[in-house]
Structure 1
Amino acid sequence: MTANLLILFSLFASYVTATALTYSVAANERACFYAQVDQPGYKIAFYFAVQSGGSFDIDYSVHSPSLKVIVSGEKERQGDFVFTGNEVGEYRFCFLNEMSTFAEKLVDFEIAVENEVRAELPIKQAGGTEDESSTLDNSIHSLSGKLTSISRTQKYFRTRENRNFSTVKSTESRIFWFSIVEVLAIVGMAIFQVFVVQFFFTGSRKGFV
């Protein structure tokens, strides 16, 4: 079953629109998400990370409105891409779990559309000097870059935490079932030894000892 979720973005100059979702991609499923670009030249950022399921990998592809493949990959655990949307229309972001026959994949992803046009600072409108406005402008964008870096670091640690937790759960499950098999083997061996002893020491078979 193909699950398609339509995500429409309203774009305005000097504004950023984004969506962050966590989606469970079932086995043999192709899940696609869409972002609308109304004008050419917008920056589109695409980030994803597989949180759990299988080997923590998935196939993905990004298509332009004309169905041209912009970026794609196979069996990737995570990705972070930024490209310019030169075409107007819907950009398609797809996750493909078709190589998996039973394991579903939990994917955390974010799609952001940004207009590169910067808003005019109030200091410019008030008649401030060029140096003052330039310094303030650089400081604002420096802080913006640092916040983006912090956000990416938090997502990275979240992904590592989820993967490590999934690995611990898998290890605990294997230890549990291995212990069950070991106990059953010991009990089976004990019962087998009892029957062997009874076989040699019961009735007419005593002469074989």
Structure 2
Amino acid sequence: MLFAIFSVISLLIATVNATALTFALQPNEKQCFYIFNTKLNSNVGYYFAVQAGGSFDINYYIKAPNGANIVKADKLTHADYIFTADQIGEYEFCLSNEMSTFAEKIVDFEVKVDDDFKASLPEAPKENPAVEGMQESVKSIEQKINQLLSSLNYYKTRNNRNQSTVKSTENRIFWFSIVDLLLMVGISVFQVLVVKYFFQGSRKQMV
């Protein structure tokens, strides 16, 4: 029983890792991803988070196989939702950085059909407490793994954004120091020239 549970956990982790993606979204660029749903009323979960770039925001929309918008939103930093796929066919997920003219965005993206994993579980024989208990344990482990992955994604995003903020602050401090130094040098040179001019004028009056 333990071997079966560990095998199912490994399958869960492999399935989750297979759908995760990190990519760069260039300025004025849109990238779309597709999944093909083969079962009515499947639960489709998706997640994205902008890790770095600009104001950490992008536009996105999801279209059903018939072309209708399931969801559409602008300037979001992250999203983590589940919707019911009530049609069979290809669903389109598009992430857009078209509102940005110079800022590249680094985006984490993940999408999966929850029923893909559940369909691979064997049917429990009727009135078999051991197998039913194992399946309940697997479902509980799946929920905890999903919660753990959500927490890891959240802290990863927070860490990346904090690092980006620190780097941006360091750059601003560096350039402010350079400008401050140049300004001080300029003022010093100006003061020397003014004093020199005054002394030259005094000597002419004495002569």
- How far the C-alpha of 1:187 sits from its partner, in A, is 0.2
Instruction: Name the residue aligned to 1:39.
Output: 39
Q: Which amino acid aligns with 1:141?
A: K
SS class of match (2:40): coil
Whole-Å separation in 1 of the counterparts to 2:76 and 2:40: 29
Given the alignment of the two structures, is residue 67 of structure 1 paired with residue 67 of structure 2, yes or no?
yes
Whole-Å separation in 1 of the counterparts to 2:105 and 2:78: 12
Q: Which amino acid aligns with 1:81?
A: Y
Alignment of 1:107-186 (within 5 A): 107-115=107-115, 117=119, 119-121=121-123, 124-125=124-125, 129-186=127-184
Whole-Å separation in 1 of the counterparts to 2:161 and 2:71: 25
Q: Which amino acid aligns with 1:152?
A: S
- How far the C-alpha of 1:84 sits from its partner, in A, is 1.6
SS class of match (2:19): strand
**TM-score calculated relative to the size of structure 2:** 0.84
Given the alignment of the two structures, is residue 92 of structure 1 paired with residue 118 of structure 2, yes or no?
no
Q: Deviations over 1:83-141 (max 9, x none)?
A: 121112111111111111111111101011232547335xx44x7x4433332222110
Instruction: Name the residue aligned to 2:77.
Output: 77
Structure 2 unaligned runs (5+)? 1-14
Instruction: Name the residue aligned to 1:4.
Output: none
Whole-Å separation in 2 of the counterparts to 1:135 and 1:143: 12
Alignment of 1:97-108 (within 5 A): 97-108=97-108
Moved more, 80-89 or 163-172: 80-89
SS class of match (1:40): coil
Aligned-pair RMSD on alpha carbons?
2.2
Q: Which amino acid aligns with 1:33?
A: F
Whole-Å separation in 1 of the counterparts to 2:176 and 2:184: 12
- How far the C-alpha of 1:43 sits from its partner, in A, is 1.8
Q: Deviations over 1:133-170 (max 9, x none)?
A: 33222211011100110011111111111101101100
Instruction: Please say if residues 37 and 89 of structure 1, whose CA atoms lie closer than 8 Å, have aligned partners that are also in contact.
Output: yes
Q: Which amino acid aligns with 1:49?
A: A
Instruction: Name the residue aligned to 1:21.
Output: 21
SS class of match (2:169): helix
Whole-Å separation in 2 of the counterparts to 1:207 and 1:187: 31
Whole-Å separation in 1 of the counterparts to 2:28 and 2:81: 25
Whole-Å separation in 2 of the counterparts to 1:96 and 1:205: 71
Whole-Å separation in 2 of the counterparts to 1:46 and 1:144: 16
Whole-Å separation in 2 of the counterparts to 1:80 and 1:206: 80
Instruction: Please say if residues 199 and 205 of structure 1, whose CA atoms lie closer than 8 Å, have aligned partners that are also in contact.
Output: no
Structure 1 unaligned runs (5+)? 1-15
Q: Deviations over 1:11-30 (max 9, x none)?
A: xxxxx675111111111111
Instruction: Name the residue aligned to 1:58.
Output: 58
Distance 1:157 1:102, change over 3 A: same
- Which structure has the highest helix share of the two? 2
Q: Which amino acid aligns with 2:151?
A: T
SS class of match (2:111): strand
How many corresponding residue pairs?
Answer: 190
Q: Which amino acid aligns with 1:55?
A: S
